[in-house]
Amino acid sequence: MGDRKKILVTNDDGITAPGIAALIEVAKEFGEVLVVSPDSPQSGQGHAITIYDPIRLKKVDIFPGIEAYECSGTPVDCVKLAKNVILNDLKPDLCVSGINHGGNAGVNILYSGTMSAAMEASIEGIPSIGFSLLDFAHDADFSASQHYARKIIKAVLEKDLVESKLLNVNIPHLPMSDIKGIKVCSQANAMWVEDYAEGQDPRGGKYYWLAGKFVDRDPDNHGGDVRALSTGYVSIVPSMHDLTRFEAIPELKYMESL
Amino acid sequence: MGDRKKILVTNDDGITAPGIAALIEVAKEFGEVLVVSPDSPQSGQGHAITIYDPIRLKKVDIFPGIEAYECSGTPVDCVKLAKNVILNDLKPDLCVSGINHGGNAGVNILYSGTMSAAMEASIEGIPSIGFSLLDFAHDADFSASQHYARKIIKAVLEKDLVESKLLNVNIPHLPMSDIKGIKVCSQANAMWVEDYAEGQDPRGGKYYWLAGKFVDRDPDNHGGDVRALSTGYVSIVPSMHDLTRFEAIPELKYMESL
């Protein structure tokens, strides 16, 4: 690479997760890396931000030669503090988030702290990529994920993509040799069907604990990310933070005369 | 009304906020109301869900004649528990969230627990509306908001809207007589520009506390919700949970041969 890029790395599994170490290894091949990551697991935090409480940032020395901070806030807080406090409003060239332990296809993009961190960076105009491996295990094998992350980061840094400022990349839980390639997809209509576990705490109080299974409601959609993953492909979904459903505006216009 | 509708009411300011009482007053004119709302303020929780901890639900008797529960989880947890545990997977006819103390125009839809609760219901196929008043005060005057909420709820229950399953409604902080009407809008390109307050806790530890101002980056967009509000209109933005940026798929297709 000619000029060294500045790359912000974050995640939602926390700074000690093997997935972020795997992503840092790849990112540092492309430039100067800054890590700002939660000091505790933050899965399912979505686009949450910390409003009512002060946030702590602590410099840590756990990645040789890499400037890194652990943060008491959410993944989105990490990105906001990286940009506003650590980088003093200088924008990095790229933000990468992950590699998440567990998939973020379909509607998971909304619940995922990994993707929300990437989205927060993209709101700031920073090209951003979230990477997720469909394996929740702490000791997951990230080698295939690293291979594809390297290809995709290189492509994003080299091409000047106009429309694609935020990519949701998922990697199937397969050995490298069984992955068939990459598919550019849409977000599948796949969601969680809940089934809360009920129980009693040690003082006899009733509780509910989130459980459930991930269901593709439109399995015939061959263009969706869930289908790409289940047939052995890495999925890339170009994503966005403008949630306007423009198609709906005409049918709502009559409300202006209510 | 002929048949009585089942309406789920939630919010993110918590079950004791005056805004939810104002919304319940309106909702009960249209049918049978079920309230499931957080037991503490949850502003800024976005689409966060509780994964690592058990969640509590407690029946409360604070709204005369209304079945109501306070929930230890996030706004999205409230909707999931309402549907899965309390309603035993029976879908309400409508979910309304709010009335939020504070606006949720522009990119705030992502940070807002109010809108994320409505979005969670819409993922489940339930028509949903989030209402937000541009006044953070605890003793805000919700009378104009109630007037417009009544009109919009009536319209949504009477019309069989096909494309518009999730509406983001904001009401300007104006006396009723100064509100000019309703505008159907897109999500403005308006965002927070952060400015973290730095301080020291009582033990000398450094902290950062989120501050900043809300800035419209595209003030010439007369179709955006921020502009509608600043010119005295109630804004309605039809919204969605499919975050695919379809326009970007063609420019990314080359990645399939990486």
Which sign, positive or negative, has the C-alpha torsion B72, B73, B74, B80?
Answer: negative
Label residue B149 exposed, middle or buried (CB < 10 Å: 0-12, 13-18, 19+).
buried
Would you tell me how many other CB atoms lie within 10 Å of the CB of residue A215? Answer: 13
Closest residue in B to A197 (Cα) is: B54
Q: Which architecture does CATH list for A5-188+221-257?
A: 3-Layer(aba) Sandwich (3.40)
pLDDT tens-place string over residues B92-138: 999 999 999 999 999 999 999 999 999 999 999 999 999 999 999 99
pLDDT tens-place string over residues B131-190: 999 999 999 999 999 999 999 999 999 988 888 899 999 999 999 999 999 999 999 999
- pLDDT > 90: percent of chain B: 92
pLDDT for A1? 43
- pLDDT > 70: percent of chain B: 99
Q: Please determine, for residue B4, whether its predicted confidence score (pLDDT) is greater than 90.
A: no
Residue whose tokens read 């998922």: A170
ipTM of the complex: 0.94
Q: Which amino acid is at A138?
A: H
Which ranges constitute the DSSP H helices of chain B?
A: 18-27, 75-81, 108-111, 113-123, 143-158, 225-230, 249-252
pLDDT tens-place string over residues B25-82: 999 999 999 999 999 999 999 999 999 999 999 999 999 999 999 999 999 999 999 9
Domain B5-189+219-257: CATH superfamily is: Survival protein SurE-like phosphatase/nucleotidase (3.40.1210.10)
pLDDT for A188? 97
CB contacts of B208 in chain A (<8 Å) are 54-57, 81, 85
How many helices (H) and strands (E) chain A has is answered by 7, 13
Q: Are B134 and B108 in contact (CB under 8 A)?
A: no
pLDDT for A144? 98
Q: Are B69 and B57 in contact (CB under 8 A)?
A: yes
pLDDT for A161? 86
Q: Which comes out higher in pLDDT, residue A17 or B4?
A: A17
- Closest Cα to residue B244, out of A159, A101, A115? A115
Q: Which amino acid is at B171?
A: I
Q: Are A13 and A101 in contact (CB under 8 A)?
A: yes
Residue whose tokens read 């975050």: B243
Cis peptide before B109 (omega within 30 of 0): no
pLDDT tens-place string over residues A168-200: 999 999 999 999 999 999 999 999 998 899 999
Of B51, B84, B116, nearest to A44 by CB-CB distance is B51
Of A189, A244, A255, nearest to B182 by CB-CB distance is A255
pLDDT-flagged residues of chain A (< 50): 1
User: Rounded CA gap, A21 and B100, in Å?
Assistant: 40
Q: Which long-range contacts (CB under 8 A, 24 or more apart) does B26-29 make?
A: B26/B146, B26/B149, B26/B150, B26/B153, B27/B96, B27/B153, B28/B65, B28/B66, B29/B150
Select the residue from A43, A85, A210, A237 to test the B interface by mutation, using most B Cβ atoms within 10 A: A210
Q: What is the mean pLDDT of chain A?
A: 95
CB–CB contact A47 B46 (8 Å): yes
Find the radius of gyration of the CA atoms of chain B: 19
Residue A197's alpha-carbon distances to A194, A203, A210, B84, in angstroms, are 9, 18, 6, 11
Of A47, A57, A164, nearest to B251 by CB-CB distance is A164
pLDDT for A244? 95
For residue A4, give how far its alpha carbon lies from the nearest alpha carbon of chain B (Å): 23
- Across A195-208, b (16+ Cβ under 10 Å) vs e yields ebeeeeeeeeeebb
pLDDT tens-place string over residues A26-55: 999 999 999 999 999 999 999 999 999 999
